[in-house]
Amino acid sequence: MENNNTERNSEEISFVSKSEQFIEKNQKVIIAVIAAILLIVLAIFGIKKFISEPRQQKANEAIFAAEQFLAQGDYNSALYGDSTTNDQYSIGLIRVIDKYGSTKAGKRAKYEAGICYLHLGQYQDAIKYLNSYKGKDQLTPVFNEMMKGDAEIEQGNTDAAIKHYTKAAKMDDNDITAPFAYFKAGVAYLSKGDNANAVNCFQNVKDNYPSSSLYSEMDGFIAFAQESLENK
């Protein structure tokens, strides 16, 4: 037993000795690696503290007036700002995107610009900005997809609109957005004379979303679509 302990102690001493030799031999390299890691950490902290956070603050200030115009339904001023004022922050969503597109406010501005262009009847511009928006919350990506469908339907691109509505319905299966998206798809099918698929969409809302505000209206739409289908 004593011999075993002696051997173990000798091995431990040998290992420690070799470790010390390795550190001593590679001391400069180790110090350089530690210094590099420290510099990276400090650089990340510095970018966040002195560049990213102030930039986020400026973006929030810049978008404030535009969002006020949007809430008031003044879509043109929301997009391009109000040149009649001396407010340095009334620059509009388009300039917010240009100057602060990588910030949270800048990304939100793309979604809001899509809304504005849709209301102004500039559907290609609406689709352009809606396509550039990549939301990570629960609701805006769904509404974003539905608005793409609205823009396509206004341009007579019914099949493209149906794809957007169907995708939106499946993105989040809740009792608010999903039945609304299926209903929009049903109306789009009706507009192209595809009453069978229209019935399927309306029946889907009736069967699966009883708490939806659209639920009570589905019998009328189903009956209309079926009657039109039987008269063909």
- Segment 179-200, tens digit of pLDDT: 999 999 999 999 999 999 999 9
Q: Note the pTM of the prediction, 2 decimals.
A: 0.75
pLDDT the model gives residue 16: 44
Domain boundaries, the chain: 135-232
* Range 167-172 average pLDDT: 95
What pLDDT band is residue 47 in, cutting at 50, 70 and 90?
Answer: very low
The structure tokens listed for 160 are 């493209």
At a CB cut-off of 8 Å and minimum separation 6, what does 64 contact?
89
CATH code for the part of the protein at 135-232:
1.25.40.10
Long-range contacts of 168-175 (CB under 8 A, 24+ apart): 168/142, 168/143, 171/141, 171/142, 171/145, 172/138, 172/139, 172/142, 175/209, 175/211, 175/212
pLDDT the model gives residue 110: 96
